[in-house]
Structures are given as C-alpha cells and as structure tokens.
Amino acid sequence: MTVKPRILATRLFPNAVMERLSKTYDIVGTPTLAALSSVDILALSKQADAIFCDSTSRFDDEMITNLPKTVKMITTFSVGYDHLDVAAATHRGILLGNTPDVLTDATADIALLCMLGAARMAHSSAETLRNGAWESWAPTQFLGVHMSGKKLGILGMGRIGQAVARRARGFDMEIHYHNRRPVTARGLEEATYHGTLEELLPHCDFLSINCPLSDSTHHLINDTSIAMLPDGAVLVNTARGPIVEDAALIKALKTGKIASAGLDVFENEPKLNPNYLPLPNLFVLPHIGSATFETRDAMGFKCLDNLDAFFAGKNIPNPITL
C-alpha cells in the first residue's frame, strides 16, 4: 500500500482545498479555524513531512531551527512571505512556496473600496445611520473628497499595484508611482515614474501602498514621509500593516494632514490600535483583500500544486528563494 505524505495544516482552509488535500495526503492533527500556536506546530510537525501554513504562523530562525528533520517543505497560503525566514529555511534545506498571481484582482478591488470608503466618509456616515442618529439630509454633512481626476500615487508597481492603477484610470485619476524600476504594462502608458519615494509623495492626492514588507519598507510611511504628502491627502494600505507607522498615521488623521485613510491591514493584527477607534475619518477592514470564494480556493490550490510537485520530485511551480 502506498504511504501518503503527511501534511501539517496549521489551520482549517476552504472546503474545496481541504477536500483535495485529504485525498492525496494524510493530514496531521485536526485543523480548526484558529491558527495553531508555535508550540503546537513544533509538537505536531514531528509527525509531518511538510507544512501548509498561512501568514498568521511565523516561521522565524528559531522556529525553523527547531523543526524536525522530517519537514522538507513549507508552503504558505499567501503571496507575501515576511512571516518566513527564507535564509534560515534555505540553510536547513527546507523548500518554500507561496501563491502568486491569484489574488491580484481581489486585492486591487479592496484597494479601490478603501479609497472610496475613506474619501467619501463611509464609516462615519454608515455608523451614524446604524446608530439611529441620522435625522435628515444636510448640505454640510458627511463631506468627503472626489477621487475622480485626482493624482494617485502608487508605492510598489507589481501585479497588484498595476491592477490598482488600471482600476483608478476608470476614475480618470492621474497615475504616479515609485518602484524599484519603471514598469511597462497595459494601461500604464501614461503613468509617471518617480525614482524615489521622496519624489513621489508631493504628487499624491491619494497614496496606495502596494509594496512588500521588508526591512527597508518597515515604517516607510512615518512622520517624515507623511509630511511630504499634500495637505489633505488620502492614504490607503492593502499591503502589510507595518509599512505604515500607526502612531504617525493616527497623529496625521487627528490634525487633518491626512484627510482620511482606508486600511485593510494595520500593525499588530488582529489588534487594532485603540487610538484609531474614535477617528471618524478612518475606513478600516479586517484584512479581507483576498476574501472571495474564488480567490481563497485558488490560493489553496496553488499551495497544493506546490506540494504535489514536491512529492512527485519535480520543481515546484511557485518557489520562494533568496
């Protein structure tokens, strides 16, 4: 009888993904909606040949060093991999995989939702209505700003940044961006490239953050960079929370330097900084950028494609490398 490879799933993934996983592999433990703790992962990994995780499970140098030698691969249910120590895994000979390409459109859609929600004061107006405090239409109530015709700065012009730019063109927005290098892509023919963040920021009526989290981008948006934005700019982050320094953004929202912000990610998820809570000019979501049935299934299938290729002795389709 053929022995199935043993996979530790650090939590319960979508039904279609779990069904396919269980047909080909033996699942270690009983996955639940809650993510496993590091202690539990280390304990259960003694029975596993590979690990199927997501971005809520951190595999730093210490964690990877303590994994048993039986674990030969980790595939993550995410595009970003700042939760994985790639150097440590490479040193240990552990192969890493992720899920590029499949969540581009879903995340770009949420970026536009965050732009509109922030610009048009969606949170405060909806909260007033839900609380029964809206009495009548008024000429000066819930005033926001137009997106149409404004300048949109995009920080990070990868696949998601490009998708955000193409959607924003539907609002006749003027696209500016900063990236490691200029991008030539459909719909970006008239976009303006800026070689540095400092060159980009003064042109941003709206700023959309779409770059990866790394040592160089951690708290890249801080007091200094915010001061370079036009007064009354709108800031949107659908990338990773720690790219924006919460304390700096909260201060700017209070003073009006930032007119409003739309966040799908924030520092210390899932614990939102309580100083955000009283702010009427914040539109915030619980990291739902990829949260469609289609996208989450596709992400899981990418992880399974990585596992299938690895255990078949082939190159995995979506490797993470140094």
The set of catalytic residues is 240, 269, 287
The whole-angstrom separation of Cα 178 and Cα 236 is 15
Give the 3-state secondary structure percentages of the chain, helix then strand then coil, rounded to 5: 35, 15, 45
Read off the tokens for 195: 């070689």
154: which strand partners? 177, 208
Nearest to 80 by CA among 208, 216, 239, 220: 239
Q: Sort strands 95-97 and 233-237 into parallel, antiparallel or unpaired.
A: unpaired
What's the Rg (C-alpha) of the chain? 21
The whole-angstrom separation of Cα 147 and Cα 167 is 12
Is there a contact between 230 and 207 (Cβ–Cβ < 8 Å)? no
Residue 170, burial from CB neighbour count under 10 angstroms (0-12, 13-18, 19+):
exposed
What phi and psi values does residue 237 have, to the nearest 5 degrees?
A: -130, 115
Amino acid in position 310? F
> DSSP state, 219?
T
Helices marked H in 25-146? 38-44, 61-66, 86-92, 104-119, 122-130
